[in-house]
Amino acid sequence: MELTNENVLGKLVAQFGEENIRDAYNPDGIMTFTTNRENIIALIQFLYDDKDLQVQFLTTMAGVHFPDHKGMEMCMMYQLHSLRHNFRLRIKVFVPAEDPVLPTLTNIYATANWMEREAYDFYGFIFTGHPNLIRILNIEEMEYHPMLKQYPLEDQTREDKIDTYFGR
C-alpha cells in the first residue's frame, strides 16, 4: 500500500474516531494533526504495530509554549517516521499550563527518555511513568523552565537598549 497523507489519516480516524484525530493539516508536506493525551500512547503504539504503516522511528519531540492559547498553552510535538515507507507524520498534543502532564513514551521508544527529560527541563512537562525524569541540560537547582515564553531572553530592565533603535 502506498502511504499518502489521506489514506493514513483515514485509517487513523477509522480507528480512533474523528474527535480524537483533529485539525489535520499539511504545513510542509508532513501531515500534522492533534490528539489528546488520553490517546497519544495508544495511537503511537497502533502506528508502531500496524503491518501496513510500520511507523517505528521516533525522529524528534519538541515542546512549544503558546501563552495566548488560553487553557491549552502547552504543546508537545511528536514527529514519527516510517522508514519502510519513507512516510513522516507529526502529532501534537495540547495540555493546560497548570497541568502539563503527559504519559511517557519510553515503553515504546527508548529514545524518548532523553527527549522527555529535555521537554521537562525546558518546558516543565511531567511525564508519568518516566524512569528518571530529572533535568538534563540545565543545573538541577534551577527553579524555572527557561523555554517558557514568560522568561524573556534579555534583561528587560536595561534602558540603554530601546527597541526602536533595533527596528523591533
- For other proteins, the binding residues (CB under 8 A) are 27-28, 30, 32, 56-60, 62, 64, 77, 79, 83, 86, 88, 90, 97-98, 100, 109-111, 113-115, 118, 122, 124, 126, 132-140, 143-144, 146-147, 152-154, 166-168
Question: At closest approach, how far in Å is the CB of 14 from other proteins?
Answer: 26
Quick one: 1 or 137, whose CB is closer to other proteins?
Answer: 137
Closest CA to 9 of 53, 51, 40: 53
CB of 53 to other proteins, least distance (A): 15
Hey, what's the cell of 48? 508502531
Least distance to other proteins from the beta carbon of 113, Å? Answer: 6
Positive or negative torsion for Cα 36, 39, 45, 46: negative
Rounded-to-integer distance, Cα 41 and Cα 75, Å: 16
- Residue 15 or 30: the one with the smaller Cβ distance to other proteins is 30
- Name which of 47 and 118 has its Cβ closer to other proteins: 118
> Which CB sits closer to other proteins, 15 or 34?
34
Give strand pairing partners of 127: 102
Burial of 98 (0-12, 13-18, 19+ CB in 10 A): exposed
Could you tell me the smallest distance in angstroms from the CB atom of residue 92 to other proteins?
10
Closer to other proteins by Cβ: residue 18 or 140: 140
C-alpha span between 48 and 162 (Å, rounded): 52
DSSP string, 19-32: TTSEEEE-SSSSEE
Q: At its nearest, how many Å lie between other proteins and the CB of residue 112?
A: 9
